[in-house]
Structure 1
Amino acid sequence: MDQSKPTLFKNRAFVFLFFASLLAIVGFSMFFMTTTWFVISDLGSAGSLGIILIAITVPRILMMAFGGVIADKFKKTTIMFSTSSIQGVLIVAVFLLSNADQLTFTYLLIIGFIFGTLDAFSGPAGSSLIPKLVDKSQIKQANAIIQGLGQIGFVIGPIIAGSVMEFGGVTTGYFVTALIVLGSAFFMFPPFLKEGPVDNTVKQTPLKDLIEGFNYVRASRFLVTGILILITLNFFAFGSISIAIPILVETYGGSPINLSYIESALAIGMLVSTAIIGTVKIRRRGLTSMLGLIATLLVAFAFSQIPSLFILTGLAFMLGFSMTFVAIPFFTSAQEDTDPRIMGRVMSIVFLAMNGFDPLAYAGVTLLVARGIDIQLVILTFSLIGLFIALITFWRGKTFRNYTSEY
């Protein structure tokens, strides 16, 4: 490690990025949770929920690759600050509508569409900023902190939202969400992070930039396999179970506070594994990701068989513990080995695989449940399909399985 570089928590820019990223993810997941509960409990329509979640997720996915092009062309801190500020204003609008008892399906559909589109730009920018703020030997630890605890943010958000709604209702939930997202924008204020100059100075059309990014990824068997692993994790395991948890809680007669218990166990599992990854040197990163995926899907399978909220809490811990070992080793290796000039575009594709498919699972699960399919049968089917893909990938992915790192 370069001794001239400060440790991560003495690196002011990194600390601000950490808080900005964590608050952004917490705010995003709170918006999801509060909207989910509002649509199910107030509008009384799981089908409407699926449509709203699609409105949030589809533009996010479609625009994410283009978000990587923007991240390579402009200052990443400016992109992150602008998108979080606008998202905060949008949630303030939702709060005001809810407070006036005017929040309708149409308003949520429109605001959700804009919210998801903006998130497509902030994610790749934040992911590709890490290598510019820390020493290369610190990238794994930085990712263990930001990406690992960031995934915990997807769990902390629903915990906060559930607790707030338990005692203050949906309107208060949207108010707290708005404060958190605006707090994220504060920490993303560009002078706080002091980003260096833009690496990509090649002048070409956005379409050529986009094609160059896809060609770069397609030429790397390691990146292609890793992206498939992340998609499998987030669609068939984490995404499906995340949206299934509130449905199971309601099915078994629970309340938002019961939801918080299960989500807390998931967060603690992630926290424990994140601490291990941040301190232990992992050389066989490809093998670690593959085994972590298989373990996560086995836990998801067990999750589909248990009708007890108490036992599901323990399984949630195991799920959080295993899934962190899938994402962070691959994510770190991708950052270490990618050309800085094209980092934003590569990270946009990786970020899409890491965070873009779990919301699609949200929509898919809710639509299936709305059609009368039992939620545990849905989880069982998702976990078995994901496990089949994971085993095939383990068998065929020799290049990825044998990947090692010196850091």
Structure 2
Amino acid sequence: MISEFVSMVGAWMQMQGQQLVVEEHASTSQEQAWVSFATLMVIPLFGPWAGTMADRFDRRRILLAVILMQALLAVFVGWKLQAGSLLLWHLIGVGFIMGVTHAFEGPAYSALIPELVPKEKIARAFALDRSVFHTARIVGPALAGLAVARYGLASAFYANAISFIGPLVILFAIPRRPRGTDAEEMQRRTGFLDGWRHVRSDAPTFRMVLISAANAFFCSPFVIVLLTWYGKRTLGLGSGAVGWLMAFAGVGALTASILLLALPHSHREFLVRLGVVVTVISMLMLAAAHGFVLACASILLLTLGLNFLYGISNQIVQERAPDALRGRVSTVAGFSFVAVIPFSGLMSSWLERSFGMRAALLICTVGYAITLAALVFRKSDADPRPAVAV
């Protein structure tokens, strides 16, 4: 857990550093969105193969290869920055390769966690994992701001490369997955579409996938793609203040993951509806904010609401997924984010460029409220308690 935390801190340091680098090199928010597009668009392209491989092959080896490649990419960008020769197209190319690694990392990692804990503890294991992730999300941007101010932008990328040492050691220590029954092993060799059929046929799973897609389409671009642009260009904040803005985004997400650890499953439906209400209110606050304090409060509430929804969605999907299909189910569910966010990032940046950031936030808030009212504020399709995993 400690090594994972250190690695996550490094990842968030690099993410903050990359946003600052792109903001320096890009002349418009759309150029910034294209870098994110290059990273995220390749994930759904490679996703079907990645999900199938996560079910058929040793997930540890997949993650080892992924981590080594990500470390090399971090060193490359740090070196180019230090040499003063980094160009925007370098970031787009690195983003493309990084996206390929993320395509294989997501389903392998999601499928590995349930191998390490009993089935009845899967939900709490994922909630704990998200708590570690979001704690790093608070610490990472703040450390990145300090490191960049003292040592330059390259330091954020070098720190991320070093942070991979712990996970590499842990992965070597994890034993291989024991062989399943003949039926399970045969199911592991079936095609990617079996994962889609499970998601589409299971009403609670499909409902949560649609909610996640709506989050990614209307709201997440303002946290993932445009937050640095919003802080610097809309509010006029400096790099340090933008780092703290990202840290407050982590506080909201961490609060959501801790509450999901503590609250019983019977409260899930209420938390989903609460998450929607909080998200709508916080988007309106973000559109109205003119100062640092209100912007921090708004982004904290926005990530709190979104991560109630993302966290519950992930729990339900993993609880209801058959073990032999878990990698493919994780990939299909992940498409609700990774296949949507590249286009929603471009859409939101186009809205910002055409109408301004505040108008873009208002337009997306209205669209989100209408969509989620249809998905959430009606009788649930089914009790979102876990099915028995095969």
User: What is the TM-score of this pair, normalised by structure 2?
Assistant: 0.88
Give the superposition deviation at 1:396. 5.2
Task: Describe the SS at the equivalent of 1:209.
Answer: coil
CA contact (8 A) 1:127 1:351 kept: no
Letter of the structure 1 residue corresponding to residue 250 of structure 2: A
From 218, 222, 240, give the equivalent of 1:240.
222
Match of 1:186 in 2: 168
1:211 and 2:201 matched: no
* Alpha carbons 1:284, 1:404 under 8 Å: kept: no
Deviates more, 1:229-238 or 1:151-160: 151-160
Contact 1:236/1:383 (8 A) holds in 2: yes
Cα distance change, pair 58–153 in 1 and its aligned pair in 2 (3 A): farther
Distance (Å, rounded) in 2 between the aligned partners of 1:62 and 1:184: 30
Q: In the TM superposition, what is the alpha-carbon distance from 1:335 to its structure 2 partner?
A: 1.7
The answer to whether 1:84 aligns with 2:67 is yes
Root-mean-square deviation over aligned CA pairs: 2.7
Instruction: Give the length in aligned residue pairs.
Output: 384
Is it true that 1:220 corresponds to 2:182 in the alignment?
no
Kindly tell me: are residues 320 and 195 of structure 1, through their superposed partners in 2, closer, same or farther at Cα, counting changes over 3 Å?
A: farther
Structure 1: distance between partners of 2:259 and 2:347: 33
Asked if the contact 1:54/1:363 (under 8 Å) is kept, the reply is yes
Write the deviation string for residues 17-39 of structure 1: whole angstroms up to 9, x where unpaired.
xx43x555544444343222112
Deviation at 1:289, TM superposition (A): 2.3
Task: Identify unmatched segments of 5+ residues in structure 2.
Answer: none
CA contact (8 A) 2:195 2:328 kept: yes
Instruction: Describe how 1:300-379 pairs up with structure 2 within 5 A.
Output: 300-354=283-337, 357-358=340-341, 360-369=343-352, 371-379=353-361
Q: SS where residue 39 of structure 1 aligns?
A: helix
| Distance (Å, rounded) in 1 between the aligned partners of 2:88 and 2:375 | 41
Q: Does residue 1:196 correspond to 2:177, yes or no?
A: yes
- C-alpha separation between the residues in 1 aligned to 2:354 and 2:165? 40
Contact 2:35 2:95 (C-alpha < 8 Å) held by counterparts: yes
Letter paired with 1:279? A
Determine the structure 2 residue equivalent to 1:390: 372
Deviation at 1:162, TM superposition (A): 2.9
Kept in 1: contact 2:128–2:261 (CA 8 A): yes
Query: Identical aligned pairs, as a percentage?
Result: 18
Against the structure 1 CA distance between its residues 263 and 360, is the aligned structure 2 distance closer, same or farther, given a 3 Å change threshold?
Answer: same
Following TM superposition, by how much is the alpha carbon of 1:391 offset from its aligned partner in structure 2, in angstroms?
0.4
User: Superposition pairs for residues 106-125 of structure 1, below 5 Å?
Assistant: 106-125=89-108
CA distance in 2, matches of 1:212, 1:62: 17
1:87-106 matches, cutoff 5 A: 87-106=70-89
Q: Which residue number in structure 2 is paired with residue 7 of structure 1?
A: none
Letter in 1 for 2:252: G
1:133-282 → structure 2 map (5 Å cutoff): 133-154=116-137, 156-180=139-163, 182-183=164-165, 185-189=167-171, 191-197=172-178, 199=180, 201-202=185-186, 209-251=191-233, 252-282=235-265
Distance 1:113 1:285, change over 3 A: same
Q: Secondary structure at the match of 1:253?
A: coil
Equivalent position SS for 1:201: helix
Query: Which portions of structure 1, spanning 4 or more consecutive aligned residues, are displaced by more than 6 angstroms?
Result: none
TM-score (norm 1): 0.85
Letter in 2 for 1:80: L
